[in-house]
């Protein structure tokens, strides 16, 4: 089964809470990716990181040009995130 991302929430210090269809929530620390530069360089700007974050094709993605075109987005493999990011409690639970 390929895990499906249904929601993403930007956290502090370049983290992302990744909500999966099966109810699990994983915490992505994106700093190591951003340090690589290259395609990730535009995300080093905290505003870009937060404002362009979205779900596209069941994956965490950043829609840098606002067109929701999968060819111009930066997306991450949901299997990799599901298998390697730590499971966490819902950070929005206390907001309700």
- Domain-embedded: residue 80: yes
- Domain-embedded: residue 28: yes
- Domain-embedded: residue 29: yes
| Residue 40: strand, helix, or coil | helix
Give dist(CA 26, CA 23) in Å, integer.
10
- Domain-embedded: residue 73: yes
Q: What integer pLDDT is reported at residue 55 of this predicted model?
A: 98
- Domain-embedded: residue 95: no
Find the domain containing 76 and state its range: 5-90
- Domain-embedded: residue 64: yes
- Domain-embedded: residue 23: yes
* pLDDT (tens digit per residue) in 7-49: 999 999 999 999 999 999 999 999 999 999 999 999 999 999 9
- Domain-embedded: residue 96: no
Residue 14 backbone class (left: φ over 0; alpha: ψ -120 to 50; beta: rest):
left
- Element at 83 (helix H, strand E): helix 78-84
Q: How many structural domains does the chain have?
A: 1
């Amino acid at each position: 089964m390929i895990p499906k991302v249904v929601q993403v929430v930007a956290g502090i210090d370049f983290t992302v809470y990744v909500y999966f269809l099966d109810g699990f929530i994983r915490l992505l620390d994106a700093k190591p990716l951003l340090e690589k530069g290259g395609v990730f360089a535009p995300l080093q700007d905290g505003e870009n990181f937060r404002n362009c974050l979205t779900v596209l094709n069941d994956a965490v993605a950043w829609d840098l040009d606002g067109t929701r075109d999968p060819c111009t987005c930066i997306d991450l493999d949901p299997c990799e995130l599901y298998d390697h990011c730590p499971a966490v409690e819902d950070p929005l639970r206390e907001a309700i």
